[in-house]
Amino acid sequence: MGPRRWWCLLAVALSAAGGAGAQETCSGAVPEPPRRGAWMSVASFGGAGDGRTLNTQAFAAAVARIERRRAPGGALLYVPPGVWLTGPFSLASHMTLFLARGAVIRATQDTSSWPLVDPLPSYGRGRELPGKRYMSLIHGKGLQDVFITGENGTIDGQGSVWWDMWKKGTLPFTRPHLLELMDSSDAIVSNVVFQDSPFWNIHPVYCSNVVIRNVTIIAPHDSPNTDGIDPDSSSNVCIEDCYISTGDDLIAVKSGWDEYGIAYGRPSSDITIRRITGSSPFAGFSVGSETSGGVENVLAEHLNFYNSGFGIHIKTNTGRGGFIRNVTVSDVTLDNVRYGLRIAGDVGGHPDERYNHNALPIVDSLTIKNVQGQNIKEAGLLKGIPKSAFSRICLSNIKLHGSTAVRPWKCEAISGGALEVQPSPCTELTSTSGMSFCTNSL
């Protein structure tokens, strides 16, 4: 097939989410890619999609050619149908990575061939172990105008070897992500399947203007720490129309870890999440627990979670510092979920003993509304920090039902208001002072 057909396919892939009529969408939040000035296939660089040939050098050579050529509008790297075994590789600016229908980019399970990279400055060390960390399978740093899309091809992390090392305690360094974009802007990830990541699946960190939509992310429920999408110290991020079923939080908004995140000081802000469906032994939607740079102005709506531990989980800890504020979660459907809602100030560990025990997070202005749940076991736990009570928490139109009586709300060190909540809200949310904020926020 000639290049013209692939331009057409790319346009269809990127516009698919916009065909839903009046549905709100982030289409247009990141400019649609210009017509790429060059088209090339990984097969032209010595690659073979036979599932046995290691294609790391073929991907690297193709990306290097894109960087050297500097074609007007950038270049599209086409991955044909087949199984393309590879180690980690990096992307370039003004580039589209396009996976054809039936294309699989499959990670090698030879862990010795994975390069190490420096820890993130806002974490100060690898997330799991001190020191460096393994590079993500697909990596981008300092990029602009980068797109990962296609005809629902698959990026397969073959994570079982990493999960086994984690379970046995034999990991030498922190496990790799499937996709990590650092210090990058104007990125779209769409119409791709992410499967069996060694660690977190999609991790935009220190990024701006990122859209992730029409993505499927799957991993077994017993796969450790396989978060779906974790926007981290990033701004203007939109995640919509995704199905996620993994072994950890489906979506977790983060911003750095304890003293390192405080020093780096880059919040996650202006995050939009909508029309997400999925299942997890942990949370469907979460904020934290690493929030030391701050999290603000988050809207999550039209969420559907089932067979999960928590519907909504907002979590931080003493020593985190930072803030979580102006978060709205609305129009949520839950089925067979243990906790409908948990907001807690005692969740998550610390990178080392140098964190400031007096660095208390500020949690303020959280609105949870229009939540319907069936087969719920516990309504939820709202537990602030005694020296830094969580304030202006508004619960509205929340109806949680179970096959037996739903265990009641538990509250401590919080204030706010509650309207039309079942089971009946705790007394901390029925005070007159908190009701005015709740009424005004709806």
pTM: 0.94
The CATH classification number of 249-442 equals 2.160.20.10
* Domain ranges (residues) in the chain: 1-12+36-240, 249-442
Chain centroid to CA 252: how far? 5
Residues pairing with 308 in the sheet: 337
Q: Which fold has domain 1-12+36-240?
A: Pectate Lyase C-like (2.160.20)
Query: What one-character DSSP code corresponds to residue 200?
Result: -
Q: What is d(CA 262, CA 271) in angstroms, rounded to the nearest whole number?
A: 20
Query: Phi and psi at residue 300, in whole multiples of 5°?
Result: -125, 125
Q: Which conformational region is residue 256 in: left (phi greater than 0), alpha (psi within -120 to 50 degrees), or beta?
A: left
Q: Are the folds of 1-12+36-240 and 249-442 the same?
A: yes
The string of DSSP letters for 109-178 reads S-GGGSPEEPPPTTTSS-SSSSS-EEPPSEEEES-EEEEEEESSEEEE--THHHHHHHHHT--SSBPPPS
Q: Which residues are catalytic?
A: 248
Q: Per-residue confidence of the chain (442 residues) as pLDDT tens digits?
A: 444 344 444 444 444 444 444 688 887 788 776 689 999 999 999 999 999 999 999 999 999 999 999 999 999 999 999 999 999 999 999 999 999 999 999 999 999 999 999 999 999 999 999 999 999 999 999 999 999 999 999 999 999 999 999 999 999 999 999 999 999 999 999 999 999 999 999 999 999 999 999 999 999 999 999 999 999 999 999 999 999 999 999 999 999 999 999 999 999 999 999 999 999 999 999 999 999 999 999 999 999 999 999 999 999 999 999 999 999 999 999 999 999 999 999 999 999 999 999 999 999 999 999 999 999 999 999 999 999 999 999 999 999 999 999 999 999 999 999 999 999 999 999 876 667 888 887 7
From the number of C-beta atoms within 10 Å of its C-beta (0-12, 13-18, 19+), residue 216 rates as middle
